[in-house]
Structure 1
Amino acid sequence: MQELIDRFPNKTAYIFELDNVIFPSKDYDLQVYYLFGQFMEFTFPGIHEGKRILDFLVNKHGTMSRSELIDATIDHFAITPEFKENFERLFRIARLPLKLLMFQQTLEFMQTLVADRKQIFIVTKGDPEEQLNKIKQIEWNGLEAYLKVYFVEETEPNDIPSTITKLLTENELLNQSIVMVGKTTFKLSEIDFIPISELVKI
């Protein structure tokens, strides 16, 4: 971890994306699937079996978009359309059975940054309510006190470069003082980039 920091000796702040950078987003989705299956089994006992719904969702995960997966589930199990909204809402507000665990390498890297007195920011795309819900349920191991979060959808025109520009202005930082850690490859003048594949070996 230290060798990555030593590569950028003059950097004072690090920006992280959230999904599949700090934690595997699949861990969130699978728990939401479980909760929806349990909800349907409780609501319609003897008609819907939670495990069958969960197995279907797990099997289809990653093969289609979320909206397509929700529609496929509603159709496959002949669920009345009114419950589609319940499923969609669950992604935004779910209280998960288990805490979301960070990638161990990301955790150790962030802990090293804190020890080196670096500033840490999170810039995340997606529905702000859902992204905040994820953040609240991550096991941060004390790191939460050192984080500042920016939601891309709350910054016009809803893109990462504009959000980072806002971050730099509000925190009186210069481009050349920043390192971005993420999976989204993009170029911003004088901002160095560490692909998450360099940090997290899956």
Structure 2
Amino acid sequence: MMDINQLIKDKKLVIFELDDVLFPAKDYLLQVYYLFAQFIEYSEQKTSQQILDFMRAEYEYVGAENLFEKTASKFELAQTYKHNFDLLHENARLPLKLLLYKNMLDFLQELVVNRISINIVTSGNPLQQLNKIKQTEWNGLEKYLTVFFADELNQPKSEIFNNILNSNNLSAKEALVVGANNFDEAQSKSINLPYIVSLEIYK
């Protein structure tokens, strides 16, 4: 683990991914599954709790891939419900706000105090990622965020990182990428950007 003050020494800009960096990705998806199960109960008179329990178990043990297809097969749902399932991922009104990891909230607040630029470069469906951002409890930090959607820009993350540096007239050593996976690390290191795993940051 690394102390925040040491981490941001000589930094002027920090770039974050969203999922499993600023908050747990599952906090969004499990609420989407809950809403879908409620919708199916209303539409098909099937027990929402059984559907939700199945979806949660599949997600936690296998992942989100083909989850609708597995659920539709298990509970004999029409394939037309796939549209509703996908739409919920993009525009679900969550019962609960998404909460930042405590260490990341502390880190973001420290960046604001030190006037260090905060950027989010996130992969995935831009509408879904924007919906997550809108429903996150930012504790007043939202006005300090600059957000880039990698899939919308249709560029490798390394290129987006480089463009951010150039637009801010910064060198790689003056910035930092905070991620949670090997892909983000590889994209950062390909242009010599310092990289750290989010869970290693503490105050």
> Would the TM-score normalized by the shorter structure come out above 0.5?
yes
2:62 aligned residue (64, 75, 88): 64
Partner of 2:29: 29
Give the % identical residues.
41
Using the alignment, how far apart are the partners of 1:134 and 1:164 within structure 2? 22
State the SS of the aligned residue for 1:66: coil
In angstroms, what is the RMSD of aligned CA positions?
1.8
The total of aligned residue pairs comes to: 197
Normalised by the size of structure 1, how large is the TM-score? Answer: 0.91
Alignment of 1:181-200 (within 5 A): 181-184=178-181, 185-186=185-186, 187-199=189-201
What letter corresponds to residue 198 of structure 1 in structure 2? E
Partner of 2:161: 164
The answer as to 2:5 corresponding to 1:5 is: yes
Query: Gapped runs of 5+ residues in structure 2?
Result: none
- Summarize deviations over 1:162-201 as a string: whole Å, max 9, x none: 221222233333222111111132213331111123127x
1:154 aligned residue (152, 155, 167): 152
Ranked by relative contact order (alpha carbons within 8 Å, sequence separation 6 or more), the top structure is 2
| CA displacement at 1:4 relative to structure 2 | 2.7
What letter corresponds to residue 6 of structure 2 in structure 1? D
Using the alignment, how far apart are the partners of 1:132 and 1:49 within structure 2? 31
Instruction: Judge conservation of contact 1:155–1:162 (CA < 8 Å) in 2.
Output: no
| CA displacement at 1:135 relative to structure 2 | 0.5
What letter corresponds to residue 89 of structure 1 in structure 2? L
Alignment of 1:62-141 (within 5 A): 62-141=60-139
What letter corresponds to residue 14 of structure 2 in structure 1? Y
Normalised by the size of structure 2, how large is the TM-score? Answer: 0.90
Partner of 1:18: 18
Using the alignment, how far apart are the partners of 1:91 and 1:156 within structure 2? 21
Using the alignment, how far apart are the partners of 1:117 and 1:2 within structure 2? 20
